[in-house]
A and B are shown apart, each in its own frame.
Chain A
């Protein structure tokens, strides 16, 4: 008698296989903050291991195909040519075959040389550090627009590094294996890059659509956006440096999912369907040509010497200031002031007394225009008064009334300068 399992074993095996895969899928997706389901941007350890194995199996044959130096179109075309020529003449076929092979190989080499030369010249001019890489394979699915390059962790590639060509941006490194890396192209539906329209300065997010066209999504209807406008990287996504060419606006269509929004279809600057070599930006630290580097080093050296000289001057002036005596020490009585010290080998010189002092002369009474110092022998008195006047804070000069004791002690009363009054009318000098 057949058991239930024997009777439905085909179906049960199918169900088991499907259930296992569904459980596996459920472990790889999660609900995002916005409530939408999304895949983890970085694979878990187990998933990464599976991808690593698959890549390790597929990459060597792909490298083999790539290193043969012949393209499939060349192989395809020549295959039929050879068959055709062989029918016509066998002897001629051999020569023709050899010549065509050589020609095709040379042509392919020449083309590759030109491409590499252009890439190298771009790389030399480019300000960031880059690593050249060649494309060896794809995902094989048009739902997953990515490709594999022949450089990996051994070449110090890391995740989220920008991938570009001389024409424009291509994508970003999604996964890195020891000797290869997975690059997610900008026209994939799950990719994203911050871009800006060159003229209108409208910012948006670039991602691919079902047809494999890059498009800017989430833009409000704006009549200023016209076909032909250049699109550049905005630099806010921390992957692509700012200002790299992305493409040009091809057309503007309404967003079918959101009213009032548009999608800007972009014609990519890089030929995403026919890529052979790319550059991976490994460091965004500026890399200058040797001449500029030398100039900057010289400039830095000069700047350093100037700073050192300035410091030396400042230090010398401080030492001099410490050695030189001050004119007035507020902590000492007037007769012991440093300026009275005759031991100073360089005595302070004073300006000669005016022959006809007026009321503006320091040390004279403003009202009478005569010297307030009765002691004619004291030549330094006017200077002392002037020094005191200078040493006294202005607030004291304005508010503190002159006491009689000060006048008696020989200190002349100093008239406080008139405080400017906003409301007062300007007085004319008689």
Chain B
């Protein structure tokens, strides 16, 4: 892995997208996340909004943008559930921040690193979700860690396909 300073790396590899993409892709991810489980039932082991959040955070390499996007997507997800609004928001805010922070320091063009990163961030997101529910809010929510593990694996598999697809929307100089 090449060693570069954070500033030089960020200047070199910031991905840019049309403005519409920033709104449209997360929205499509949210709609699919709400619609596909109806067809796939309990086998819907994925979190498309998280995949999109991590993708843009890694591509933009801006912790602030990653934080804001994670927050917006998480709050939107919360609004579709019957839980308190902010649980997913906190989890994805931290995930977006961490993805962008990591993206500054390591080479995220490598597919293995991308997949590994999305796997770890998925587990982190699930852990944060449970933490906020059980310890911050004191709600009785039993976690199913196997389902969370399957979800992390599913996110990794989707990232393998989705990241190259989303790279096509980049603006090239």
Residue numbers of A with Cβ under 8 A of B are 9-10, 13-14, 17-18, 21-22, 24-25, 28-29, 36-39, 47, 50-51, 53-55, 57-58, 61-62, 65, 71-73, 135-144, 146-148, 174-175, 182, 184, 188-190, 209-212, 273-274
Contacts and interface: CB of A to CB of B under 8 A. Distances in A.
B34 A58 contact: yes
6 contacts: A24-B86, A25-B136, A50-B75, A62-B31, A140-B30, A184-B82
Interface in B47-78: 49, 63-64, 67-68, 71, 75-77
B140 A36 contact: yes
Given A141-B88, A147-B38, A14 B63 contact: yes
Interface in B122-152: 129, 132-133, 136-144, 147
Taking residues whose C-beta sits less than 8 angstroms from the other chain, chain B's interface range is 35 or more
Contacts of A65: 35
B37 A22 contact: no
Interface string B36-49: 11111110100001
Given A57-B27, A189-B141, A73 B77 contact: no
Contact of B142 (A51, A137, A189): A189
Given A18-B93, A210-B143, A138 B138 contact: no
Interface string B1-40: 0000000000000000000000000010011011111111
Contacts of A148: 34
Contact of B64 (A10, A36, A140): A10
Contacts of B89: 21
A397 B83 CA distance: 84
A28 B77 CA distance: 16
A146 B89 CA distance: 19
A72 B36 contact: yes
Contacts of B143: 210
Cβ-closest 4 pairs across A and B: A54-B79, A144-B81, A273-B41, A37-B138
Interface of B: 27, 30-31, 33-42, 44, 49, 63-64, 67-68, 71, 75-77, 79-90, 93-94, 97, 101, 129, 132-133, 136-144, 147
Contacts of A58: 30-31, 34, 80
Q: Interface centre among A62, A140, A212, by most B CB within 10 Å?
A: A140
A53 B37 CA distance: 21
A175 B90 contact: no
A227 B90 CA distance: 42
A71 B39 CA distance: 7
B83 A144 contact: yes
B38 A138 contact: yes
Given A21-B71, A147-B38, A13 B64 contact: yes
A10 B140 contact: no
A38 B129 CA distance: 16
Contacts of B87: 25
B82 A190 contact: yes
A139 B82 contact: yes
Contacts of A71: 39
A188 to B, nearest CB: 8
